[in-house]
Structure 1
Amino acid sequence: MLPAMASESEKAHALLQSFSTASAISSLGLGIFCFVADKLLQFSFIQQNDWLRALSDNTVHGVVGLWSWAIVIGLKKKSDFTEVMLAGFLSSVIDVDHFILAGSLSLKAAFTLPRRPFLHCSTVIPVACLMLKLIMHLFKLKDSWCFLPWMLFISWTSHHVRDGIRHGLWICPFGKTVPLPYWLYVAITASLPHLCSFIMYLTGTRELMLIKHGFHIDV
């Protein structure tokens, strides 16, 4: 029978790892990647091709999402790579709502929407995470898949924050913020994995993952 909670030493280890040197270096690398990637996206051959621009931008969203989750869990075994790829997919798939709202697969239609699509409302993030947590509870998946709401949170939040440098954050029904300063976008993106990891520690999710899967989270 699994213990109800991790030992005090395991808790202390998990908390200390939230601010480890390795995680700090990984976060610095993430911030540098954001800056370099956005500079590369400004090349004229990318900007002049709508499909290349859209795919490149969406790929950066995906990489930021998977990198962020990799910082949260560390990469200790093969299954961790599956998790980070899922996080990258979740971070990228949001943009499908452009085509849903446009009612067309036309990239031009998706680029010229009369309003922002529903998955780009930041209020959706906590609602979706809570709904996922409820569904997992109803189907008794909350232990084995306890990381999913947090993965969804960090993947979608990183996407929204990156979009926020151009459009601001849309917090319905209150309206939208001004566009985020670029430095703030990079700072939030680099620190978000640590914030997420720390809240996971406070809520007991990190210890539950340790008990169920037998690994130490590395941030």
Structure 2
Amino acid sequence: MASETEKTHALLQSCSTESLLSSLGLGLFCTVADRLLQFPIIQQNAWLRALSDNSVHCVIGMWSWAIVIGIRKKTDFGEIILAGFLASFIDIDHFLLSGSMSLKAALSLPRRPFLHCSTVIPTVVLTLKFTMHFFKLKDSWCFLPWMLFISWTSHHIRDGIRHGLWICPFGKTSPLPFWLYVIITSSLPHICSFVMYFTGTRQMMSSKHGIHIDV
């Protein structure tokens, strides 16, 4: 098992000056990007609005995962791109629920689509972890449940400033204050890192990302 010294060293890396500055940058990006999306030129064009909104989801997902792992190798960019894809992929359920590839139909649904239910996140993450453990994929793809958690959670939190959080079967919350969205989003990578370090996991401590801890 990892020693307390090794765990402390790994944890300090997640709270480095570089990591904290990256989180501040993420919070600034969220603030600026969502303000820019309110410009009439974007709001009056359905396609431009949808693509811009989805792109911001993608960038937040990528930025968040980059904070978690740091960028030490070229191969890390593959994970970061995957995190962005997962963060933006959720919106495909708009088209699935509408049963059409029409953007107008996807944006005028009678109810929120299923991937926008926040209860789905822990359900899918835990199912994925158990599945990976069963098929012995926990070493090669150990990062995936955590990446999915961050990518999907950041998407839901951002959507929450407009629609609130939909928590099945309890209903939905009121819209989140913008300042709370920014704080949660910029803090989420560090929260995830803390959980990974102190729940017996070793994902973030692998030599893949420059932190080697034997287990």
Q: Shorter-chain TM-score category?
A: over 0.9
Of 69, 77, 88, the residue aligned with 1:73 is 69
Give CA deviations for 1:111-170 in whole Å, capped at 9, x if unaligned. 110000000000000000011111101210012211110000000000000000000000
Residues 1:43 and 2:39 aligned together:
yes
Alignment of 1:104-115 (within 5 A): 104-115=100-111
* Partner amino acid, structure 2, of 1:44: P
Residues 1:189 and 2:185 aligned together:
yes
Q: Answer yes or no: is the 8 Å Cα contact 1:6–1:208 preserved in 2.
A: no
The root-mean-square deviation of aligned C-alpha atoms, in Å, is 1.4
The structure whose RCO (Cα within 8 Å, separation 6+) is larger is 1
Which residue of structure 1 lines up, in the alignment, with residue 114 of structure 2? 118
Which residue of structure 2 lines up, in the alignment, with residue 20 of structure 1? 16
Give CA deviations for 1:19-63 in whole Å, capped at 9, x if unaligned. 211111000000000011011111221111100100000000000
Q: Is the partner of 2:195 in helix, strand or coil? A: helix
TM-score (normalised: structure 1): 0.93
Matches of 1:211 and 1:204 in 2, distance apart? 13
Matches of 1:105 and 1:214 in 2, distance apart? 39
Q: Answer yes or no: is the 8 Å Cα contact 1:6–1:211 preserved in 2.
A: no
Gaps of 5+ in 1: none
Which residue of structure 2 lines up, in the alignment, with residue 171 of structure 1? 167
1:208/1:101 Cα in 2 relative to 1: closer, same or farther (>3 Å)?
Answer: closer
Matches of 1:142 and 1:58 in 2, distance apart? 30
TM-score (normalised: structure 2): 0.94
Which residue of structure 1 lines up, in the alignment, with residue 133 of structure 2? 137
Matches of 1:94 and 1:72 in 2, distance apart? 21
- Give the length in aligned residue pairs: 212
Of 195, 205, 213, the residue aligned with 1:210 is 205
* Partner amino acid, structure 2, of 1:64: I
Gaps of 5+ in 2: none
Matches of 1:19 and 1:214 in 2, distance apart? 15
